[in-house]
A and B are shown apart, each in its own frame.
Chain A
């Protein structure tokens, strides 16, 4: 199409580009090739030293694949289904809530009052005190909510100092600072109280909440990059905010949305520690199966390779399917038109 335009890369730079692309492709693919080879090896072929090529260096065997799909089959299938459900549901939810919040943060001005935030914190501390004094938590929650409502209607409105959009964004991302190791036990207690332990729902809620900051931060930048003239035109024509968001902004931000979707999907797909705590037999996910291959009998590299490989497949499939949407040109046409 534009091959003959002055911006087409010169032959030399083309060769160099391909060279660089190939080098990194090898860096990425070699470890995965090693997984494939290992999945075809008998234990003895793994322990005798490096063997690179099936049929040449060693006789490939499908024992690992047969074991994973045979005796392990039912638990793998269960875990696979859970992972799919949890990852897809939570990443779609994250995307919906995240793009909305990010759009809000780039197009509206929020002024959360310091007074209200402080009274919120004070109410929470009071709630903690009440529970520590032996009140049932449901009762304490009701008391605190009523009190919070009263305080914000009276005292909270008197303070003038307020924060801005960037403070809200920073609060969101700061939720990711605490390492999951310390949060899992409180989360366990929380879901135990709600009766949601060992259900996909618990994982979906947790992953959505933990991945939201990333979605918001990434989408915020893509939305900032979209010129606002288009939206202003639509507004003059009488379109509602929601209409503008759904039919103008979202299509324009498609590359960013797809990239963000893939990222939050793999985060949910791969999460290990929270899944370990919140699920037992029922809601087990694939990352748990991977680490389960390293157990009392040492690390069974051949089985582990198979499990990792079947975990990669759907993600590759999605990446191939969605990669085309990370394309240039959408914005150009829109602004010209």
Chain B
């Protein structure tokens, strides 16, 4: 008996971790391998049978260099003045990051890593800004959704969590209400927003009439359509940020805040010096999770605008979905793997630079 419990105690670490890892491995490996193969193949129907012919890099070439290039990567133009300012800002920030590393006499490997990261980030921002000045492809549209959505949802979620952490009568009503958007299936949210954004029959019709916009369908305007998609996304996913941040605020050590208030700290000071630092680790993980999820946005643009006008609201996943619907499984898989590479790069940088620092490991 004692030996048995001793063994359990010694293996405790493994027993805690392995079940989850095994289940994830079991379900991850085969689909991953199969879809890698798909991305190098083209489906063919012959006499009632389906076969996948190996076509090498053809699917990738089509997206990056061939017929699908403008659809996927957009068409660039010279940057607007604002674009130049933003780019210069990023370059300055990264330069400071590299110079600080040099001043501290950091390792050569660290320097190479920082230079690589800088080059990648500058390249990404440049493609984004130049395509926004010209014609965005699905990559840039997705980036816009991700950046705008994640930031807005985080700020709104944080604000609401702080509001709801107060001891106010009736606060429980608001807490429950705020979770409602999560309870609606994403497809349902998309259809609901199609009702709401209808300028003729939707509930906002009097507003459009007052503005003299009745004949104008704002979903035919590229930025109007993108805005509609982003509003739907923010509506749906703010509660995700809200509930996690609320739970974190609620488990905040109360004595520290009370001590600070007794010492005469203002609410803003308390927030900056006590509450926010406590929330940094959770926020870092939360933003990473939302970032990864936001890249997969598909239902809203699909139902709301069908990717249009043109391809203005089409996200990468929607492009993959359209390809997949026309049975171009290889093309869909190729888009998915390019997405995987892009998100992995961004997520790795984010995890190394932000999450590791925020969690202090």
Q: Which residues of A come within 8 Å of B, CB atoms? A: 1-3, 5-9, 13-14, 17-18, 20-21, 24-25, 27-32, 34-35, 38, 46-50, 52, 97-98, 100-101, 103-105, 107-110, 124, 128, 164-166, 168, 170, 172-183, 185-187, 189-190, 205-206, 208-210, 212-214, 216-218, 220-222, 224-225, 240-242, 245, 253, 255-256, 258-260, 262-263, 266, 269-270, 272, 286-287, 290-291, 294, 299, 301, 304, 307-308, 311-312, 315-316, 319-320, 323-324, 326-332, 335
Is B64 interfacial (CB-CB < 8 Å)?
no
Is B94 interfacial (CB-CB < 8 Å)?
no
Partner of B176, one of A1, A48, A323: A323
| Beta-carbon contact of A100 and B16 below 8 Å | yes
Give the secondary structure class of A's interface: helix
The interface residues of chain B lying within 8 Å CB-to-CB of A319 are 176, 179, 183
Given the interface pairs A272-B185, A299-B191, A311-B183, the reply to whether A326 lies near B250 with Cβ below 8 Å is: yes
Given the interface pairs A97-B19, A270-B186, the reply to whether A263 lies near B243 with Cβ below 8 Å is: yes
The interface residues of chain B lying within 8 Å CB-to-CB of A324 are 172
The 0/1 profile, CB within 8 Å of A marked 1, for residues 19-30 of chain B is 111011011111
| Beta-carbon contact of B250 and A100 below 8 Å | no
Distance in Å: Cβ of A293 to nearest Cβ of chain B: 8
Distance in angstroms between the alpha carbons of A128 and B286 in the assembled complex: 36
Distance in angstroms between the alpha carbons of A177 and B329 in the assembled complex: 18
The segment out of B147-155, B217-225, B257-265 that lies at the interface is B257-265
Distance in Å: Cβ of A212 to nearest Cβ of chain B: 5
Is B1 interfacial (CB-CB < 8 Å)?
no
Given the interface pairs A242-B12, A291-B187, the reply to whether A180 lies near B180 with Cβ below 8 Å is: no
| Beta-carbon contact of A170 and B191 below 8 Å | no
Partner of A29, one of B38, B177, B247: B177
| Beta-carbon contact of B251 and A27 below 8 Å | no
Distance in Å: Cβ of A147 to nearest Cβ of chain B: 16
The interface residues of chain B lying within 8 Å CB-to-CB of A190 are 30-31
The interface residues of chain B lying within 8 Å CB-to-CB of A21 are 160, 163-164, 171, 174
Q: Which among B24, B181, B299 has the highest number of chain A CB atoms within 10 Å? A: B24
| Beta-carbon contact of B281 and A224 below 8 Å | yes
The segment out of B97-105, B116-124, B306-314, B316-324 that lies at the interface is B316-324
Partner of B175, one of A101, A105, A323: A323
The interface residues of chain B lying within 8 Å CB-to-CB of A183 are 31, 35
Given the interface pairs A50-B206, A326-B250, the reply to whether A181 lies near B184 with Cβ below 8 Å is: no
Nearest CB in chain B to that of A3: its residue:
B167
| Beta-carbon contact of B183 and A173 below 8 Å | no
The interface residues of chain A lying within 8 Å CB-to-CB of B185 are 269-270, 272, 286-287, 290, 308, 311
Distance in angstroms between the alpha carbons of A308 and B191 in the assembled complex: 10
Partner of B188, one of A124, A187, A287: A287
The interface residues of chain A lying within 8 Å CB-to-CB of B324 are 181-182
Partner of A7, one of B204, B261, B337, B361: B261
Q: Which residues of B come within 8 Å of A, CB atoms? A: 5, 8-9, 12-13, 15-17, 19-21, 23-24, 26-35, 38-39, 156, 159-160, 163-168, 171-172, 174-188, 191-196, 200-206, 235, 240, 243-244, 246-248, 250-255, 257-258, 261-262, 267, 278, 281-282, 285-286, 288-289, 292-293, 295-296, 298-299, 316-317, 320-321, 324, 329, 332-333, 336-337, 339-340, 343-344, 347-348, 351, 355-356, 359, 361
| Beta-carbon contact of B351 and A259 below 8 Å | no
| Beta-carbon contact of A101 and B251 below 8 Å | no
Starting from the known contacts A181-B332, A241-B9, A326-B246, 14 additional A-B residue pairs (CB-CB under 8 Å) come to: A25-B174, A32-B180, A49-B201, A105-B17, A124-B33, A178-B35, A213-B24, A217-B289, A222-B247, A225-B278, A242-B8, A260-B244, A290-B185, A301-B191
Given the interface pairs A100-B17, A186-B35, the reply to whether A311 lies near B178 with Cβ below 8 Å is: no
Partner of A225, one of B21, B248, B344: B248
Given the interface pairs A20-B163, A49-B200, A262-B243, the reply to whether A182 lies near B250 with Cβ below 8 Å is: no
| Beta-carbon contact of A7 and B29 below 8 Å | no
The interface residues of chain B lying within 8 Å CB-to-CB of A206 are 27
Distance in angstroms between the alpha carbons of A327 and B336 in the assembled complex: 41
Distance in angstroms between the alpha carbons of A304 and B189 in the assembled complex: 11
| Beta-carbon contact of A174 and B172 below 8 Å | no
The interface residues of chain A lying within 8 Å CB-to-CB of B267 are 13
| Beta-carbon contact of B12 and A241 below 8 Å | yes
Return 16 A-B CB contacts under 8 Å, by A number: A7-B258, A175-B28, A179-B317, A179-B320, A181-B324, A181-B336, A182-B337, A190-B30, A218-B289, A241-B16, A245-B16, A253-B251, A256-B247, A263-B240, A263-B243, A311-B185
Distance in angstroms between the alpha carbons of A312 and B184 in the assembled complex: 6
Distance in angstroms between the alpha carbons of A214 and B24 in the assembled complex: 12
| Beta-carbon contact of A259 and B187 below 8 Å | no
